[in-house]
Amino acid sequence: MNVSPAEALLTPEEQEQQRLADEAWRRSIPAQVFLNYFFALSYHIEEGESPLGGLANLPYFRQHQAQLSEGEVTALTKLLHSCWSTEYALRATAELGDENFLRNALHWTFPQAYHTILAGLQAFLFTTGVRSTNEQVVRREVGRLVVKNAYPRPVSFYAAGAYGDFSIHRLPLAGYKAGLHIASQEIDAQAQIGQFLRTTRKQKAISVRQQVQTNPNTAIRSQKTGKPLDKWTAAHWQQITWRLGYTTIFDLLGRLRISQSSREIERYVEADIDFRLFHSSLLSIVSYLNGIHETYVAKALGLERYEQLVRELPAHLQHSFVQERLRTRVQPTLLGIEPEPELKMAA
């Protein structure tokens, strides 16, 4: 084993401790990068958020309306209840757990964060006429809405383009090299989000290629042999780009869908990272996006009807974050008044 001059001054026991510490850090790098990504998203949202979340200034939001039957309102209410109950569970874990509990809680908090946002998104899409629960359809539709500026600036970024030629939009600092440390300024956050977008879109492109090439009806074949091509040129990647859609924050959140039994999540559970920071970052993103979707739903329903819906919530959701966001986000946006300061809410 090679020993550095600095390590030579250590006792054999200290050298072994140093080696184990270095090894633990190397094993933790993938988890640290993942934490960096979600902290960067939270940081970028916080840095770019206006007092009202920026919705009121968007033409898409101002024009948003819907005619909903009582049956449709009932279906919409179920989606909101699903969204809020899942967020309630996520908050209970994030706010009450100690470090060790939070470490092991990743098995369920990762999917909880994803599913609460998905349910809120489906509620918003419901008011636009998109009633599908198919995640591919939801992903495609929300990608279009992001590009059409239905979302405030902090979450309006997206990636497009073919494999090997990705372009990132509305994130001007995304081209800078991402570091291995938690973002401390906006350039760090945007660089890490840019990297997250590129790696996520790359994964999607590779997955789509595999689907295309294993299907006899869609496989791109060699003109000489007629067999599916193993090696692709840029032109081949270009042919499947339309299947990728746009890569948005919702695709990044899709990376949280890690199976409880998968080896990948064990990497995070066993890593030496700040689990409390991870959970608080997730919760910050969840609260921001759910607040946007709630405001869209309230605008579609009418504020009075939405307030009634909130008053009639189950007991566990009474006097909770739902009412808090109604007071600080939804009502001020729809009424055009200055928001009240947010209170620290218990789960």
What SS3 string covers the chain? Answer: CCCCHHHHCCCHHHHHHHHHHHHHHHHHHHHHHHHHHHHHHHHHHHHHCCCCCCHHHCHHHHHCCCCCCHHHHHHHHHHHHHHHHHHHHHHHHHHHCCHHHHHHHHHHHHHHHHHHHHHHHHHHHHHHCCCCCCHHHHHHHHHHHHHCCCCCHHHCCEEECCCCCCEEECCCCCCCCCCCCCCCCHHHHHHHHHHHHHHHHHHHHHHHHHHHHHCCCCCCECCCCCCECCCCCHHHHHHHHHHHCCECHHHHHHCCCCCCCCHHHHHHHCCCCCHHHHHHHHHHHHHHHHHHHHHHHHHHHCHHHHHHHHHCCCHHHCCCHHHHHHHHHHHHHHHCCCCCCCCCCCC
The percent of residues in the chain predicted with pLDDT above 90, rounded, is 68
CB 246 within 8 A of CB 158: yes
CA separation for the pair 131, 148 (Å, rounded): 19
Which candidate, 279, 253, 270, 283, places its Cα nearest to that of 31? 270
Q: What is the CA radius of gyration of the chain?
A: 23
Give the pLDDT confidence score for residue 26 in this predicted structure.
58
Amino acid at 181: H
Mean pLDDT of the 280-295 span: 96
Cα separation, 44 vs 152, in Å, equals: 12
Question: What local confidence, expressed as pLDDT, does residue 53 receive?
Answer: 59
pLDDT at 319 exceeding the cut of 80:
yes
CB 189 within 8 A of CB 179: no
Cα separation, 75 vs 131, in Å, equals 10
How much is the pLDDT for 265? 77
Rounded to whole angstroms, the Cα distance separating 245 from 254 reads: 14
CB crowding 189-218: b at 16 or more within 10 Å, else e = bbbbbbbbbbebbeebbeebbeebbeeeee
pLDDT of residue 74: 97
Q: Which of 47-51, 151-155, 342-346 has the lowest mean pLDDT?
A: 342-346
If one compares 4 and 40, the residue with the highest pLDDT of the two is: 40
In a domain, 198, yes or no: no
Question: Tokens in use for 238?
Answer: 């270009």
Over residues 306-321, mean pLDDT: 96
Tell me the sheet residues that pair with 160: 167
d(CA 170, CA 148): 12
Confidence of residue 266 (pLDDT cuts 50, 70, 90): confident
Q: Is the pLDDT of residue 214 over 60?
A: yes
Mean pLDDT of 292-309: 98
The pTM score is 0.89
pLDDT value, residue 61? 97
The per-residue pLDDT for 10 is 66
The pLDDT of 121-130, averaged and rounded, is: 98
Residue type for position 265:
I
Most confident of 218-227, 228-237, 290-299: 290-299
Could you tell me the pLDDT band of residue 268, with boundaries at 50, 70 and 90? confident
- Expressed as residue numbers, the domain containing 148 is 30-157+248-335
CA–CA dist 2, 242 (Å, integer): 51
Closest to 307 (Cα-Cα) out of 293, 285, 322: 322
Task: Give the residue-averaged pLDDT of 3-7.
Answer: 50
Number of domains composing the chain:
1
Statement: residue 346 has pLDDT above 80:
no
Is the pLDDT reported for residue 271 higher than 90? no
Distance CA 144, CA 227 (A): 35
Asked whether residue 217 is domain-assigned, the answer is no
Q: Is the pLDDT of residue 115 over 60?
A: yes
Residue 177 inside a domain? The answer is no
Predicted pLDDT at 51: 59
Q: Determine, yes or no, domain membership for 106.
A: yes
Overall average pLDDT of the 111-122 stretch: 96
Within a domain: 164: no
Mean pLDDT (whole number) for 123-147: 96
Question: What pLDDT was estimated at residue 16?
Answer: 62
- Examine residue 109 and state whether it is found in any structural domain, yes or no: yes
pLDDT band, residue 249 (cuts 50/70/90): very high
Give the pLDDT band of residue 194 (cuts 50, 70, 90): very high
**Is 268 within the bounds of a domain?**
yes
Over residues 272-280, the mean pLDDT reads 90
Q: Across the chain, what does the average pLDDT equal?
A: 88
Residue 347 has a pLDDT of: 40
274/176 Cα distance (integer angstroms): 25
Q: What is the pLDDT of residues 12-33, one digit of tens each?
A: 776 666 665 556 545 677 888 9
Q: 226 or 323, which is more confident?
A: 323
